[in-house]
Amino acid sequence: MRSKRSIYGWMTLAAFCWAGAFIAGKLSVPYIPPLSLTFLRFLVATVVLFGVKNRVEQKLETRMTEYRVTKKDWPVLLFTGVVGMVFYHGFFFSALQYTTAINSSIIAAMNPIITVVLGFFFVKERISGRALLGILISFAGVILTITSFDLTLLASMEVNPGDLLMLLAVISWAAYSVFSKAKASHIPPMALTYYSFLVCTLVSLPLALLEKPWEWAAKVPWTAMAAVVYMSIFASVIGYLIQQISIRRIGPSRTSVFINLVPVFSILLSVLILSEELEPVKLITAAMIITGVFICQTERKQP
């Protein structure tokens, strides 16, 4: 990953891995309840991340062994683990029970926009007129996605509950991002992710038990378990590690642009693997959201 060109290729792969999580989640939710699915995903991810962290830290020139959790850090890690991991994935997997992978990935593309909005309210980050334009375009794209261009559904509240759950998931992840920047900047990224994964695993365990795994575990097909492993290793561990290397080589702004590829890949995979119907309006709304995000991201690069 020494050249910029190679990093661009790796970040494209990371976006593909993240897009695959929408497909894997859709394959898993018919058999595994949302909180149990969250627990299984992060149990595997935590174990894998623990096993590879030393070698990765050398690549990132960051030593997690130099970091020790203090009493002041635990509230931060509890927030990132619960809100950023448990809440996000609980809402995410619940959403996939009701909506399509295409819709969920389009709404997920709203994440950078919601992050900007939360940053304005909670850490007083400036929003210029250009950024506001991007926010409005993206927000309009989300509204049109969940209503399929029938705005009368908003008045009657006849929108897909899965789309609303996905919006809550995105808000949870955006809150995690803003909080991490404001309160966890002193924690190395690798350590923050590892301990957030660990907190998520521990917190989601008793919640998963409430879903009575002894009643459904024996009925889970191997394809659903393979999907869990995919989400754990490729979407959680590998995708994150590539992202962290990219941030250090080409910066956070250029790295974040690749997130715009996620709904594109998700739409293609949803059609090819899940045989979901690709409506032309979804391409329009996806383009609107990505355009809005691009406007905001280019604005944030300016001094």
Per-residue pLDDT of 190-200, as tens digits, reads: 788 889 999 99
Q: What does the domain layout of the chain look like in residue ranges?
A: 4-300
Triad 88, 218, 17: Cα angle to 5°: 40
DSSP 251-284: -HHHHHHGGGHHHHHHHHHHHHHS-----HHHHH
Whole-prediction pTM = 0.85
Write out pLDDT tens, residues 96-129.
999 999 889 888 888 888 888 888 888 777 777 8
**What digits encode the pLDDT tens for the residues 22-47?**
999 999 999 999 999 999 999 999 99
**Whether 17 contacts 165, CB under 8 Å:** no
How many angstroms separate the CA atoms of 106 and 86, rounded?
A: 21
